[in-house]
Structure 1
Amino acid sequence: MGNCSTCTSKDKCSSKGESNICIKIMPKYGNVKNIIGVISGKGGVGKSTVTGIMATQLRKKGYKVGVLDADITGPSMPRFFGINKKRAEMMPIDDKNNFKFVPVETAMGIKVMSMNLLTASEDQPVIWRGPVITGVLNQMYTDTEWGDLDYLLIDMPPGTGDIALTVMENFPISELVIVSTPQDMVSMIVKKVVVMAQKVGVAIKGVVENMAYIECDGCEKKLKVFSKKSSEEHAEYLGLPLICEMPISLDLTEALEEGRAESFVADSPLYDLLFSALY
């Protein structure tokens, strides 16, 4: 908890206790100006990839950026940044076994905290029930040494379950970015997240339609893969502004597999163009 004057949601939040004290959970070790949640209604739409691209683009613009991998049971952000073989530190802060997490920094200086940076190896499963997962997420958020950040991006698990509700209700989210693919079935499921956010009172920036097309070699035509409908039509169904539509990119896939997605995105004019006006 903290003073409402320092909360990133102070202008649109009604969650105030006595004496104008914000009841949102605040990080203990650092000052975060903006917290952006990246979410979708279902898995496999590229939500973590979009989170990584956004973080890279923000860092490229000179902002101080952190990423919290809130998908505790299916974390993937270390893979995007090529830091999956590194481990976050647990630094003692007193003689009572209290500690704080020291995140792993990427090549560009993005601070990342993920469950896959805390387990012995990245393929070690986390077999926990909901309340434990929620408690660990809260600890990773509050007890990480974030320092001064302009943006903290939270890569959220898909759906409308415990983690999504915890982040939306308890964290001072500035706004959400929704990730979808241009398919009626996917749009229907993603709509549930949109309605949830509206009910909870969290602002939504817009929707990124991922895997919207493949660019034809030689002819430069956009070939639709999943639907004859346009990304604009799917965004209209969701009732959201269309941030951008992203193509299926084998080059990006290869960069992800080789652990160099961060540098690939930073050097790509395409992602400069797609996300230039986001923040």
Structure 2
Amino acid sequence: MADVPSDAPEHCPGTQSESAGKVSACQGCPNQSICSSGAARGPDPGIELVRKRLESVKHKILVLSGKGGVGKSTFTSLLARGLAAADSDRNVAILDIDICGPSIPRVMGVLGEQVHQSGSGWSPVYVEDNLSVMSIGFLLSSPDDAIIWRGPKKNGMIRQFLSEVDWGALDYLVIDTPPGTSDEHLSAAQYLLNAGLTGAVILTTPHEVALLDVRKEIDFCRKVSIPVLGVVENMAAFVCPKCKTETAIFPANTGGGSKMAMELGVPFLGSLPLDPRLARSCDEGTNFLTDVQDSPTTVAFNKLLKDVVEACEESRSS
């Protein structure tokens, strides 16, 4: 992939491109003469920096979905909390690369915390002794600040997070992503595939509008060689907290996530029902898995968690 400098014009072809410094978009760029001479071409040094930084991270998991609003950040928080709670000796971290919509700090209950710099890099924010978080949300002066960045600057931020955060020795690094298959996803693939990416968990909801976009996400994973650990169907049904009656909010008219996974030949990890108490827990930044242990969502998630761990171990050994 072409490496685009942070101060590049909007349509920069990238320093690795054969047309670097030679197209109309390069006119007026201070790097034009260097690019056109070929001196800027070569492997991205960030790839090796990321590989070295993540050598002590056993499993690296991307949480993906082509569709927005399917609960990626919520699932990321549940996955990280569940992994950390299952074994106190297991070290887990979340990296939020949803640059324009960083919701992980609020969901994890650390909104307003600040990142500190040390000689070994940025120190992540700790939720528990064995659970830490890094997000651009910690670098903003206010949670209401909009991040209005083009692709190259977002990509540079992701590279910094992966190469300059002092994660320490981790068993799991869970990476929350924005919807789609664009800049942030390409950057994650570029750096993580060379650092031993375990694979991706792909989220969907049961209705066809979501499934259409999720099919594209699975195709993206295949095209860039990201292993698919499995598909999770989120918000499969609404569960009344009082009477426990289930109602299909998003009807699976075409068979839902399980049928899609079967058709595309990827594992189906399970379905999670929708509990309104989970939304409240995310708003308050509390641990739903320990606070509402009798919820059908908690019961279903605990079973799914075992399947995710098994998928990670199988991917690592293959």
Range of TM-score over shorter length: 0.7 to 0.9
Root mean square deviation of aligned Cα: 2.3
Matched, 1:222 2:249: no
Tell me the SS of whatever aligns to 2:307. coil
Alpha-carbon distance between aligned partners in 1 of 2:246 and 2:158, rounded to the nearest angstrom? 40
Alpha-carbon distance between aligned partners in 2 of 1:50 and 1:198, rounded to the nearest angstrom? 22
Deviation at 1:125, TM superposition (A): 1.4
Indicate the percent of aligned positions where both proteins have the same amino acid: 34
Alignment check: 8 A CA contact 1:55 1:67 kept: yes
Q: Residues 234-249 of structure 1 correspond to what in structure 2 (within 5 A)?
A: 234-249=260-275
Q: Residues 43-58 of structure 1 correspond to what in structure 2 (within 5 A)?
A: 43-58=68-83
In the other structure, the counterpart of 1:274 is 304
Gaps of 5+ in 2: 1-46, 310-318
Deviation at 1:243, TM superposition (A): 1.0
Bigger share in strand = 1
Alpha-carbon distance between aligned partners in 1 of 2:69 and 2:57, rounded to the nearest angstrom? 29
Gaps of 5+ in 1: 1-21, 94-98
Range with bigger deviation, 217-226 or 207-216: 217-226
In the other structure, the counterpart of 2:279 is 253
Deviation at 1:23, TM superposition (A): 5.5
Alpha-carbon distance between aligned partners in 2 of 1:27 and 1:66, rounded to the nearest angstrom? 17
Q: Residues 158-173 of structure 1 correspond to what in structure 2 (within 5 A)?
A: 158-171=179-192, 172=195, 173=197
Q: 1:200 aligns with which of 183, 199, 224?
A: 224
Q: For each residue in 1:166-196, what CA deviation from the matched residue of structure 2 results, as whole angstroms up to 9, or x when unmatched? A: 1123213110000111111111111111001
Tell me the SS of whatever aligns to 1:252. helix
Range with bigger deviation, 102-111 or 78-87: 102-111
Instruction: Using structure 1 for the length normalisation, give the TM-score.
Output: 0.83
In the other structure, the counterpart of 1:77 is 104
In the other structure, the counterpart of 2:3 is none
Alpha-carbon distance between aligned partners in 2 of 1:129 and 1:258, rounded to the nearest angstrom? 31
In the other structure, the counterpart of 2:64 is 39
Tell me the SS of whatever aligns to 1:147. coil
Alpha-carbon distance between aligned partners in 1 of 2:132 and 2:164, rounded to the nearest angstrom? 14
Matched, 1:190 2:214: yes
Deviation at 1:217, TM superposition (A): 5.6
In the other structure, the counterpart of 2:84 is 59
Matched, 1:153 2:178: no
Alignment check: 8 A CA contact 2:159 2:191 kept: no
Alignment check: 8 A CA contact 2:80 2:93 kept: yes
In the other structure, the counterpart of 2:137 is 116
Alpha-carbon distance between aligned partners in 2 of 1:30 and 1:195, rounded to the nearest angstrom? 28
Alpha-carbon distance between aligned partners in 1 of 2:241 and 2:105, rounded to the nearest angstrom? 31
Q: For each residue in 1:97-149, what CA deviation from the matched residue of structure 2 results, as whole angstroms up to 9, or x when unmatched? A: xx721110003531110000111122211111100110011001110010100
Alignment check: 8 A CA contact 1:182 1:234 kept: no
Bigger share in helix = 2
Alpha-carbon distance between aligned partners in 2 of 1:111 and 1:156, rounded to the nearest angstrom? 17
In the other structure, the counterpart of 2:53 is 28
Alignment check: 8 A CA contact 1:41 1:192 kept: yes
In the other structure, the counterpart of 2:115 is 88
Amino acid across the alignment from 2:259 = E
Tell me the SS of whatever aligns to 2:82. helix
State the structure with more CA Rg.
2
Amino acid across the alignment from 1:256 = C
Alignment check: 8 A CA contact 1:88 1:118 kept: yes
- Structure ranking higher on relative contact order (CA contacts 8 Å, 6+ apart): 1
Instruction: Using structure 2 for the length normalisation, give the TM-score.
Output: 0.73
Amino acid across the alignment from 1:196 = F
Tell me the SS of whatever aligns to 1:116. helix
Matched, 1:141 2:128: no
